[in-house]
């Protein structure tokens, strides 16, 4: 994977996070983000480099949202679509997430494996346009990298989002 692209994307998100909002502080209905763990964790499907993971999150109600994301590296492609349910409020507190994903990694047993994705996490907006989110994701339905069985694969996530 080209190492300049993740660095450029991370720098862009960092700058955008501090751009003043066009309206008064309050709920931001859209967010674009990046999972920072996937950039550095070689254990998440890319043994040589991390994967770049960009996603969009859209507001549905005060306690729900939807996301669409795409992670890729030199050998992997992982699209995902999820639904989030917040326990407190949108972008403010703990959440549950459920969706589907497809995992395709060259030269491995991951060959467009379709999986159900579940997650539990926490999201907070520390600045006007910045959202920080962390979760533990569980993928069910893909072959586990160590056992080869259809076991649950757990993945950590730490994301930065630009909300607008």
* d(C-alpha 92, C-alpha 94), whole Å: 7
Tell me the CATH number of domain 4-163, given options 1.10.3720.10, 2.40.160.20, 3.40.50.1100, 3.40.50.620: 2.40.160.20
pLDDT tier, 21 (very low <50, low <70, confident <90, very high otherwise): very low
What tens digit of pLDDT does each residue of 89-117 get? 999 999 999 999 988 877 666 677 789 99
- Domain definitions of the chain by residue range: 4-163
38 versus 31: the higher-pLDDT residue is 31
Q: What is the pLDDT of residues 58-87, one digit of tens each?
A: 999 999 999 999 988 887 788 999 999 999
CB 43 within 8 A of CB 144: no
Residue with tokens 């950039």: 39
Q: Residues 45, 48, 76, 131: is their CA dihedral positive or negative? A: positive
pLDDT of 77: 85
If one compares 26 and 35, the residue with the highest pLDDT of the two is 35
Spatial distance between the Cα atoms of 59 and 157, rounded to a whole number of angstroms:
20
């Amino acid at each position: 994977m080209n190492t300049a692209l993740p660095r450029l994307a991370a720098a862009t998100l960092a700058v955008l996070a501090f751009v003043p909002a066009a309206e008064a502080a309050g709920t931001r209905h859209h967010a674009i983000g990046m999972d920072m763990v996937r950039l550095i964790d070689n254990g998440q499907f890319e043994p040589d480099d991390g994967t770049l993971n960009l996603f969009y999150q859209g507001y549905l109600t005060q306690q729900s949202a939807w996301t669409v994301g795409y992670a890729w590296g030199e050998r992997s492609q992982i699209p995902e679509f999820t639904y989030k349910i917040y326990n407190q409020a949108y972008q403010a507190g703990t959440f549950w997430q459920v969706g589907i994903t497809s995992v395709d990694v060259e030269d491995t047993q991951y060959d467009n494996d379709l999986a159900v994705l579940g997650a539990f996490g926490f999201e907070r907006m520390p600045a006007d346009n910045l959202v920080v989110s962390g979760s533990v994701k569980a993928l069910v339905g893909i072959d586990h990298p160590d056992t080869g069985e259809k076991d649950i694969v757990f993945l950590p996530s730490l994301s930065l989002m630009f909300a607008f």
